Homo-oligomer: A and B are copies of this chain.
Amino acid sequence: MRTDVDTDTDQVSLAVSTVIFALRPHPTTGRTTLWLPLVRRIREPYEGRWALPGGPLRPDEDLAASARHTLERTTGLAPRHLEQLYSFGAVDRSPEDRVVSIVYWALVRPDEDARATDGENVEWFVADDVRGLAFDHDTILRYALARLRAKITYSPIAFAFVTPEFTLADLRAVHEAVLDRSLDPANFRRQVLASGTVTATGSYLTGTSHRPPALYRRAALPEEIR
């Protein structure tokens, strides 16, 4: 019986890749939608194609540290929400060698996103419009989108996309952007208030209308669902 670390082969390489989601206005509709930064490859294989930012795992680097470094290089950001998503290791995912990618995802808050600075060969794209990425990165992106859309229905992940104080309209915009459909404001408000996941701060959004919307913050939960 073998166990974990009795490795006798070094023919498999390990990379850490990142899916970085932020909410920005759609270029034509103006509606808040999911974007992500991609990196243009400057060498073969897949030269000229777009790819998820990432790189080989350095021997002295933890997995999350590797993802944080990629994030910093790609976007200049250090978003609070960074977690491991999944590892992709199909034998044929890279044409020339065997590479397993451990994928992290980052969810960027609007106040964090305001400080984003694009790295070299980096551009942001509307996530649902992206096709033709290098390697199996289309598959990875579809997986990340599906996970995000499932998780927002049963976990507090939506809060990763709002500032610490937010209006219910802010929170609804996150759900609408992630689910890619409109939600009835009155129903959404009723459901969120009934869920016990938010607490009114007692303050209101100033400088807006004659009926300024109330500000909320995330309620402390007994236990997080991850």
Contact = CB atoms under 8 A, between A and B. Distances in A.
A171 interface: no
A63 interface: yes
A93 to B, nearest CB: 8
Contact of A89 (B62, B119, B150, B154): B62
Nearest to A154: B154
Interface stretch (A12-20, A156-164, A206-214): A12-20
A77 to B, nearest CB: 15
Given A6-B55, A56-B6, A119 B1 contact: yes
Interface residues of A, number: 64
Given A12-B57, A58-B9, A84-B86, A73 B4 contact: no
A37 to B, nearest CB: 10
Contact of A43 (B6, B11, B223): B6
Contacts of A1: 39-40, 42, 53, 73-74, 119-122
- Chain A interface mostly: loop
A94 B102 CA distance: 19
A3 B90 contact: no
Given A89-B57, A91-B60, A17 B4 contact: yes
Contacts of A98: 59
12 contacts: A1-B73, A4-B15, A4-B17, A4-B134, A7-B15, A7-B97, A8-B56, A9-B58, A14-B14, A63-B87, A102-B102, A154-B225
